[in-house]
């Protein structure tokens, strides 16, 4: 699995958009890409989950790993537009308390949370 598409928001955050299944096959690529973006100086990252139809513990691990690295670099990682399945998994694992969802990637860094 290669890199996921990225773009920048008006506020300067980098958006990564994984699609399909974010599982043990795809999660290592996302983790590597998030770490590379943050190591490259992009400390405000949004993961757009609007195209992610499925996430498992490996996918959650990639998001948490990215969050940890971003915060250690003085930034943050936020998620946006999760699908219903992703929201359900976040709620079941209580990770919705750590990874708060935002309506869209473009507004993820507009609020003070």
pLDDT in tens, 77-94: 999 999 999 999 999 999
Asked if the model's pLDDT at residue 106 lies above 60, the reply is yes
| DSSP H helical ranges for the chain | 27-39, 57-72, 84-92
Question: How long, in residues, is the chain?
Answer: 113
In terms of C-beta distances under 8 Å and separation of at least 24 residues, what long-range contacts does 96-99 make, across chains too?
Answer: 98/64, 98/67, 99/63, 99/64, 99/67
Q: What ranges do the domains of the chain cover?
A: 12-107
41 CB neighbour count, 10 Å cutoff: 9
Q: How confident is the model at residue 33 (pLDDT cuts 50, 70, 90)?
A: very high
* 12-107: CATH superfamily: STAS domain (3.30.750.24)
């Amino acid at each position: 699995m290669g890199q996921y598409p990225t773009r920048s928001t008006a506020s300067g955050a980098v958006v990564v958009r994984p699609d399909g299944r974010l599982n043990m096959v795809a999660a290592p690529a996302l983790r590597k890409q998030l770490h590379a973006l943050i190591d490259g100086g992009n400390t405000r990252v949004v993961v757009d989950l609007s195209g992610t139809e499925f996430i498992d513990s490996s996918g959650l691990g990639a998001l948490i790993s990215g969050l940890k690295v971003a915060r250690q670099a003085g930034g943050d990682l936020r998620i946006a537009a999760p699908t219903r399945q992703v929201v359900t998994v976040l709620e079941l694992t209580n990770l919705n308390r750590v990874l708060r969802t935002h309506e869209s990637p473009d507004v993820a860094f507009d609020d003070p949370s």
